[in-house]
Structure 1
């Protein structure tokens, strides 16, 4: 009887979804979204009862895991007390959430402007930088994703921006560090760092430093590769910004709140940006929330001058209550320490072992619970398993790999020729090992396309 009820519910959900929902980044006729019945911890399950160990954290946002009871209870309590109040009023959980975030950010930070998500955070960060400096240009990396709203998609460097061009004016592209596929012909991390900084220095010179409001970067590039910056790079960007009066914007929407084993990934390198954007892991997306943490200097810009921006749901009480609870849970349960341990003791070593067994693994990179395997058909030439921005038949090898993961109960995060290993920060060591074992099996599919020696 339960199976019949489950089948009926699934059929109704599929019918409504197909008829009425327009899904993002998809040709609607080509997709058949899986109905999800429930989730807990590091797992979710469908209406047949099949469970999936989530190595994607949905969209790399489920940092605290599914249905954490304390976080759910905090939302319930706030809903019973006060569901909504305009951002024009002061509110207890809004103020507390801002204070807790500022206290855990870099020492130069002063205030938070709340948004509903990461794209809006990046939009407002750029607006702040332009108002603060009186300049209009923004340097943004090719290998980047900053959101899908008009300004954020213009910042974005990957192919998702193409359909929205021409976009917001004033965006200038640069190449960030990526030693495995170096744009600078570097052979060591030191060379890659030095040459990437020099590239920015040259770009600033020819664009005119006096025209550049900000340099925006993902501290650790997320969807476009889990690209961990080499030592010295972020400090070099900071030095250039200081030299020319340019605002440094660290996009930590994906890399923040435990994902890299710190509150904010940039703390791993001891660098202080002028603006930090956040969302996703601040409350694991239980209620939409994002924001901009701003330095004392930028916050002071708006002491006597109105900030010309706002959102009806800025600092929404339900979202802020969930952020407060999430931060407290992170501290009470030692989640940052756990995330670091998973990276150093379980995921990192486990992925390197997989690389030794599977020729299709070209590189392993990451930290905390933020890792990528770059899959290739030839290690010597580093030919990607699928071409850049592959679709249709060209994407078949990666689709086959992903299907092998899902068949075995692992939900992967794949992008181009990479699979990312990004489970919740609360995933146990045993769960992580179980996921790695499934990856081990699924990688034999990728190995089947290998043509190198």
Structure 2
């Protein structure tokens, strides 16, 4: 039996009692307010347990997790080394304020800084990615004495005030309308060759023209007013957009030229997701600040942070940094981070993620693309992939409209429903299905999930108009 099968077998009884599932569902619907959702449309599946790359409901139906939940359980569910580390830490110290030195807090910071490129040697811990981006922007503004921050369309940086203002997708719109988003944000178009804003036909053209557009925006906004440029190293929720060769190095050069802080948002792409510790490693680029969360401890206990360059650290050597959090560097979260990083190193998960992308997921997705007229493009690296669905492969009309609502999204909703019915839990956003399993997914698990997806995409094909 697999670990997952043993876990389900051992949990039979109360945990797999359908009546208990009904009680869990009733409590949820009576008392919980769900994020990013119209409350009347919420109908969650009550989850009884999870192990490895699977989770299951109270009826015992199992799902292969191709979502890694919120693309954060990078080592899968219930990893025994991390669970044991959390239990051991709870027996010693559950909570100690960040004004004290703590062994796991310091060890986690040392390990994270050791994985970061260049002279990013210090860590400010937060509770998650949105707070990390909030603090990175605050540091950049104080460091430069400037106010504006530049961020890309087709991006997501978090749901808090400044972070949602940085965000370049429709989740920002209601916050803008309510006057809640951060001020001083300027958006620009990043590279996206499949739907190029720059009429490019090659990666080299896309990179050069996107950089020229960025520099023009800097010039017209006034370089001396711009504190930072924040970029997801690989755009995540908004499309798994892999930057073309030379683009991130070009951003680094523009930041150096104009004295702008370069913030790399690695909240989603970091800690193995892209087949490297940090996605910027693929292009040998060193930002001034790196924000992280999610995969740092596989989401077992909330944790995020900012990795800080020596130069920016010096700004605050004798100047008080006016920021902090009650739970900064929470001992349970940091113990989980230490155990997660150690497990990833000892079990070769980074290499496995890179190999899966190169030898299994990428080739199989390209076969799927060739077989389905609804697939316009597949793209990705490591365990970080997207399938772009279209109604017309010639015009590249999206299968569902950008920011579509209600019945407009039916084609993708039907594909997703078919996947779930067959035991696969995917991620989707507008006209894209994302393939983002844990870094320690096996070849057989990846191929099984992709076979389910292959079958479900026949539904998308039925909507193709040519």
* TM-score of the superposed pair, with normalisation by structure 1: 0.99
Task: Look up the match of 1:412.
Answer: 426
Once residues 94 and 154 of structure 2 are traced to their aligned partners in structure 1, the CA distance between those partners, rounded to angstroms, is 39
| Structure 1 residue 357, shift from structure 2 partner | 0.6
Structure 2: gaps spanning 5 or more residues: 1-11
| Structure 1 residue 169, shift from structure 2 partner | 1.1
Task: Look up the match of 1:215.
Answer: 229
Task: Confirm or deny that 1:339 pairs with 2:353.
Answer: yes
Once residues 293 and 13 of structure 2 are traced to their aligned partners in structure 1, the CA distance between those partners, rounded to angstroms, is 38
SS where residue 249 of structure 1 aligns? strand
Asked if structure 2 preserves the Cα contact closer than 8 Å seen for 1:118 and 1:277, the reply is yes
Task: Look up the match of 2:182.
Answer: 168
Asked if structure 1 preserves the Cα contact closer than 8 Å seen for 2:15 and 2:58, the reply is no
Matches within 5 A, 1:394-433: 394-433=408-447
SS where residue 402 of structure 2 aligns? coil
Task: Confirm or deny that 1:383 pairs with 2:394.
Answer: no
Select 1:92's aligned residue among 93, 99, 103.
Answer: 103
Select 1:135's aligned residue among 116, 135, 146.
Answer: 146
Task: Look up the match of 1:311.
Answer: 325
Asked if structure 2 preserves the Cα contact closer than 8 Å seen for 1:375 and 1:446, the reply is yes
Asked if structure 2 preserves the Cα contact closer than 8 Å seen for 1:397 and 1:449, the reply is yes
Residues 40-71 of structure 1 deviation map (CA, whole Å, 9 limit, x = unaligned): 11000011100000111001001000000000
Matches within 5 A, 1:21-40: 21-40=32-51
Task: Look up the match of 1:11.
Answer: 22
Once residues 334 and 394 of structure 1 are traced to their aligned partners in structure 2, the CA distance between those partners, rounded to angstroms, is 43
Q: How many residues align?
A: 452
Asked if structure 1 preserves the Cα contact closer than 8 Å seen for 2:16 and 2:60, the reply is no
| Structure 1 residue 128, shift from structure 2 partner | 0.4
Task: Confirm or deny that 1:79 pairs with 2:93.
Answer: no
| Structure 1 residue 356, shift from structure 2 partner | 0.8
Call closer, same or farther: CA 1:246–1:4 in 2, change over 3 Å: closer
SS where residue 378 of structure 2 aligns? strand
SS where residue 366 of structure 1 aligns? strand
SS where residue 87 of structure 1 aligns? coil
Call closer, same or farther: CA 1:255–1:4 in 2, change over 3 Å: closer
Asked if structure 2 preserves the Cα contact closer than 8 Å seen for 1:3 and 1:48, the reply is no
Once residues 366 and 114 of structure 1 are traced to their aligned partners in structure 2, the CA distance between those partners, rounded to angstroms, is 29
Asked if structure 2 preserves the Cα contact closer than 8 Å seen for 1:64 and 1:425, the reply is yes
Matches within 5 A, 1:15-414: 15-165=26-176, 166=179, 167-414=181-428
Asked if structure 1 preserves the Cα contact closer than 8 Å seen for 2:263 and 2:287, the reply is yes
Once residues 88 and 294 of structure 2 are traced to their aligned partners in structure 1, the CA distance between those partners, rounded to angstroms, is 22
RMSD of the TM alignment (CA)?
1.0
| Structure 1 residue 418, shift from structure 2 partner | 0.1
| Structure 1 residue 369, shift from structure 2 partner | 0.3
Asked if structure 1 preserves the Cα contact closer than 8 Å seen for 2:16 and 2:59, the reply is no
Asked if structure 1 preserves the Cα contact closer than 8 Å seen for 2:192 and 2:206, the reply is yes
- Shifted more, 273-282 versus 163-172: the winner is 163-172
Call closer, same or farther: CA 1:4–1:146 in 2, change over 3 Å: closer
Once residues 16 and 449 of structure 2 are traced to their aligned partners in structure 1, the CA distance between those partners, rounded to angstroms, is 30
SS where residue 17 of structure 2 aligns? helix
| Structure 1 residue 31, shift from structure 2 partner | 1.5
| Structure 1 residue 390, shift from structure 2 partner | 1.2
Once residues 177 and 410 of structure 1 are traced to their aligned partners in structure 2, the CA distance between those partners, rounded to angstroms, is 31
Once residues 342 and 167 of structure 2 are traced to their aligned partners in structure 1, the CA distance between those partners, rounded to angstroms, is 33
Once residues 394 and 225 of structure 2 are traced to their aligned partners in structure 1, the CA distance between those partners, rounded to angstroms, is 42
Call closer, same or farther: CA 1:141–1:4 in 2, change over 3 Å: closer
Asked if structure 1 preserves the Cα contact closer than 8 Å seen for 2:162 and 2:183, the reply is no
Once residues 4 and 225 of structure 1 are traced to their aligned partners in structure 2, the CA distance between those partners, rounded to angstroms, is 37
Residues 117-156 of structure 1 deviation map (CA, whole Å, 9 limit, x = unaligned): 0000000000000000000000011110000011110111
* TM-score of the superposed pair, with normalisation by structure 2: 0.96
Asked if structure 2 preserves the Cα contact closer than 8 Å seen for 1:74 and 1:322, the reply is yes
| Structure 1 residue 389, shift from structure 2 partner | 0.9
| Structure 1 residue 107, shift from structure 2 partner | 1.7
Call closer, same or farther: CA 1:315–1:361 in 2, change over 3 Å: same
Residues 343-365 of structure 1 deviation map (CA, whole Å, 9 limit, x = unaligned): 00000000000011111000010
SS where residue 375 of structure 1 aligns? strand
Once residues 14 and 26 of structure 2 are traced to their aligned partners in structure 1, the CA distance between those partners, rounded to angstroms, is 18
| Structure 1 residue 5, shift from structure 2 partner | 6.5
SS where residue 112 of structure 1 aligns? strand
Once residues 144 and 5 of structure 1 are traced to their aligned partners in structure 2, the CA distance between those partners, rounded to angstroms, is 39
